[in-house]
Structure 1
């Protein structure tokens, strides 16, 4: 069983700062302005509290949070939480150079252990994470598009832009980023979508070191995944909560109302 998780929590929060009409509380406005989406107040907790609690429920016993050098607020928050169900460590990504660089920044903290990788501004279903924890090889959780539409807080037009997963006999063949309308139609409503939820062996670190920046100028985890010899695809029918924009906050709060946080 995998017991380590790497949580990418360095994001700049550009959309959170600029997109949406929702009026925020002073605490939420401060989190949005700082780009700390994972520290967004949701009810009585922060989003990262729900994420860590769900990871612990699934079987994670060590979480490595990838943060920016100036994100001392993360350390202060975790110190106040004093989690006992899992150990929380930090890895610093010096510059915002992309998701593959963020993963590479966690190499020393992770060591030789296999791990799952998740986004800090998403809340993933525990059942799906639990399936990844049983993997012995590199693997990708593929979310059925129809289930994402019905069980997530993510609008259909946003889901349509997410990367599609092409597989054969449970093995990843291709990840199609920003698919066009014809590709979406051909894939069908139950096509598998990538939500950046992976299980990795330590070989991912060497793969991250081999890639070049994408046209966006970033080191992308998708390009590192393409460097791996084999990646299993695990289909999953379920939703993901996303906190990318200010207008996401109300719906995330509504769906998490009454959810117990145990750290």
Structure 2
């Protein structure tokens, strides 16, 4: 889609939530984190998305997606994740239908997205992490974008308005755009030289994507990264190299992150006033 195309995109009805992560940091004991027994048990299982922060964390993620027009959600899970299958069955049928897709092995984010190919069909889909709460305004702007898109979060706003410390924000994927606001490049875990080259105003990616069906063929054509995983960033970079326009939707909102046990208390506090409707 060209930069001057004024076609109104079709509403986005489907979203994929990547919930296959192993939760290694969440499993790790943290004596400073004051958890109740139920929270501690879920944290020990590594299924971060089901930790109770007033209600299961996934409730907040799915409710925010429903608020921007999503009516069908697919959780990408592992074959061992019975608790997530049971959760999907229990919450499905209100504003949102919730189903699951299996990623057989934890082979990376592109492999996880590929697992949802049957769910996506020929429609565009929002793809987000299961351990992040994305603000509604950022999701709404993403859903309104044409073609393929991602949210580029302002780094200063992330530090100020999220529960993520500045040193972790500095490690997030950096986004470079062209004069039309389209993605030029994206760099995972940037070093100091890359941070300096991109500049302080370069936004970061928090893995909030909007994909056309083209992403699935791209996921099938990439090679494993140096970490031995199939990375969604590499699939997106392949699309860009082949001429796909990827809109970078700017956002000055914060994103809440549920990576470790130490994040749970701040998450509870931040979500306390958020209305959930499933």
Q: Could you say whether these structures have the same fold, taking a TM-score greater than 0.5 normalized by the shorter chain as the test?
A: yes
The partner residue of 1:213 within 219, 224, 236 is 224
Query: SS of the residue aligned with 1:227?
Result: helix
Given that 1:65 and 1:88 are in contact with CA atoms closer than 8 Å, whether structure 2 keeps it comes out as yes
In structure 2, the partner of 1:87 is: 97
| Equivalences for residues 135-150 of structure 1 within 5 A | 135-150=145-160
Given that 2:53 and 2:264 are in contact with CA atoms closer than 8 Å, whether structure 1 keeps it comes out as yes
TM-score by length of 2: 0.91
In structure 1, the partner of 2:161 is: 151
| Equivalences for residues 121-200 of structure 1 within 5 A | 121-168=131-178, 169-200=180-211
Query: SS of the residue aligned with 1:197?
Result: strand
Query: SS of the residue aligned with 1:63?
Result: strand
Q: Separation in 1 of the partners of 2:140 and 2:94? A: 20
The partner residue of 1:251 within 243, 266, 269 is 266
Query: SS of the residue aligned with 2:163?
Result: coil
Q: Separation in 1 of the partners of 2:213 and 2:69? A: 19
Q: Separation in 1 of the partners of 2:153 and 2:248? A: 10
Q: Separation in 2 of the partners of 1:184 and 1:214? A: 21
Q: Separation in 1 of the partners of 2:260 and 2:237? A: 29
RMSD: 1.3
Given that 2:89 and 2:98 are in contact with CA atoms closer than 8 Å, whether structure 1 keeps it comes out as no
The reply to whether residue 202 of structure 1 matches residue 218 of structure 2 is no
Q: Separation in 1 of the partners of 2:17 and 2:148? A: 17
TM-score by length of 1: 0.96
Give the gaps of 5 or more residues in structure 2. Answer: 1-10
Give the gaps of 5 or more residues in structure 1. Answer: none
* Structure 2 CA distance for partners of 1:59 and 1:152, relative to 1, 3 Å: same
Given that 1:19 and 1:245 are in contact with CA atoms closer than 8 Å, whether structure 2 keeps it comes out as no
Q: Separation in 1 of the partners of 2:155 and 2:191? A: 15
Q: Separation in 2 of the partners of 1:180 and 1:72? A: 39
Given that 1:128 and 1:141 are in contact with CA atoms closer than 8 Å, whether structure 2 keeps it comes out as yes
| Number of residue pairs matched by the alignment | 262
In structure 1, the partner of 2:4 is: none
How far has the Cα of 1:7 moved from its partner? 0.3
Query: SS of the residue aligned with 2:267?
Result: helix
The partner residue of 2:38 within 12, 27, 42 is 27
Q: Separation in 2 of the partners of 1:27 and 1:214? A: 37
Q: Separation in 2 of the partners of 1:62 and 1:19? A: 35
